[in-house]
Structure 1
């Protein structure tokens, strides 16, 4: 099975649009994973039927047991994050400020302050007309998105029996969620666009991907909006020996498809034709039929 992650150095390049289009026309047995847990939206283009929901427990957070608390305030004095507050004549932990350092539990003389796992998201498995989908939602204000991405990857792998392709829609940027997405994959497709910041972020992303010994491909979305910068991106990819698998023109029908919640490849348009050519080039390089 080939594990392919579609990623981008910055948001707004059209990464999810390309990932959904490839999933729509892959033509091979596949399983999908939405690893952009901070803003998961691959499901919006495939109308999934949800099968399971699991609570995701992130790192531990403090909680004060009022029945044991002696009201001494030592925990509040030692909390560097201001997470222990006074409410209704009792000490409580504000979960949005607690960083899970456990200092309060260490200094509490009665054991009233203790560390407990806290729910920070939900993990789903669903069925779509293009294969099973593992996806998740990180609760607003929660951290540990890299850990949640790892769990999504595990669910996708568990659903991949008989699949030739695991296609992951990754997060933008180069942080922990990206690292959790590309660890152990065979190839990444970087979706970029002709902009100075996009070129800079492409270079940073390639540097990270090189650390994981994965094959790197590129797709340039809206390439015809700034052909001079597009030429700079092509020149960079040549120097780095990165195959540009496809170039997608600006196409208003892409916006129409996204607004109507469907992959752009379910209609005829210049962008759809370019993505089909991209699919053929990429899959030929990966040895997929």
Structure 2
């Protein structure tokens, strides 16, 4: 099975649109994963049917046992994050402010403070016309998105028996969620656009991805909006030995498809034709039919 992640150096390049299009025209047995858990949008284009829901528990947060608490306030005095506050004449923990450092458990003379895992989101498995989809929701204000990405990938791999492709919609940037996404993958498709900042972020992303030994391909979205910068991107890829697997023109059909909630490859448009060509080039390089 080939494990392919679609990623981008910055947001707004069209990464999720490309992922949905590849899933729609892949023509091989596949399992899908939306690893952009901070802003999961792939399901909006795939019309999923929920199969299962699981709680995601991230790092622990403090909890005060009021029966053991003697109201001394030492825990609040030592909390650097202001997470322990006075409410209804008792000490309580503001979970959104708690960083899970555990200092309060150390300083409490009564042993009234404990650390407990907190629910930070949900992990879903859904069925789609293109294959099972593992995706998630991170609750507002919650962290540990890298751990949640790992959880999503585990659910996708658990349903990958007999599949030829694991296709993951990755997050933008080069942070922890990106690292969690790329780890264990065979290849990444970097979706970029003809902009100075996009080229800069492409260079940073390539540097990170090479640490994982994955094959790197590039797709240039809306390439015809600034062909001079598009040429700079192609020149950079040439110097780095990176294959430009496809170039997608600006096309209002893409906007219409996203608004309608379906992959643009279900339209007869210039973007759809370019995305099918991207699929052919990419799959040929990866040895997929």
Please report the TM-score for the alignment, with normalisation by the length of structure 1. 1.00
1:1-289 mapped onto 2 (5 Å cutoff): 1-289=1-289
Structure 1 alignment gaps of length 5 or more: none
Q: CA deviation at 1:68?
A: 1.1
Q: Secondary structure at the match of 2:216?
A: strand
What is the deviation of 1:47?
0.8
CA distance in 2, matches of 1:46, 1:227: 32
- Alpha-carbon distance in structure 2 between the residues aligned to 1:24 and 1:91: 53
Q: Secondary structure of the residue that 1:141 maps to in structure 2?
A: coil
Post-superposition offset of 1:210: 0.5
- Using the TM superposition, name which of 196-205 and 60-69 deviates more: 60-69
Unaligned stretches of 5+ residues in structure 2: none
How many corresponding residue pairs? 289
SS state at 2:37 partner: coil
CA-atom RMSD in angstroms: 0.4
Shift of 1:196: 0.3
Find the aligned partners of 1:264 and 1:108 in 2 and give their Cα distance. 58
Task: Provide the C-alpha distance between the structure 1 equivalents of 2:8 and 2:67, rounded to a whole number of angstroms.
Answer: 50
Rounded Cα–Cα distance in structure 2 between residues aligned with 1:228 and 1:65: 64
- Structure 1: which 4+ aligned runs deviate by more than 2 Å? none
Equivalent-residue separation in structure 2 for 1:69 and 1:47 (angstroms) = 50
The structural deviation recorded for 1:66 is: 1.0
Shift of 1:4: 0.1
CA distance in 2, matches of 1:61, 1:239: 48
Q: Distance in 2 between matches of 1:11 and 1:268?
A: 26
* In structure 2, distance between residues paired with 1:286 and 1:5: 13
| CA distance, structure 1, for counterparts of residue 112 and residue 39 of structure 2 | 36
Q: Aligned partners of 1:281, 1:30: CA distance in 2, in Å?
A: 18
What's the TM-score once normalised by structure 2's chain length?
1.00
- Deviation per CA, 1:69-89: give whole Å up to 9, x if none: 100000001001110000010
The CA distance in 2 between the partners of 1:82 and 1:158, in whole Å, is 41
Q: Secondary structure in 2 aligned to 1:126?
A: strand
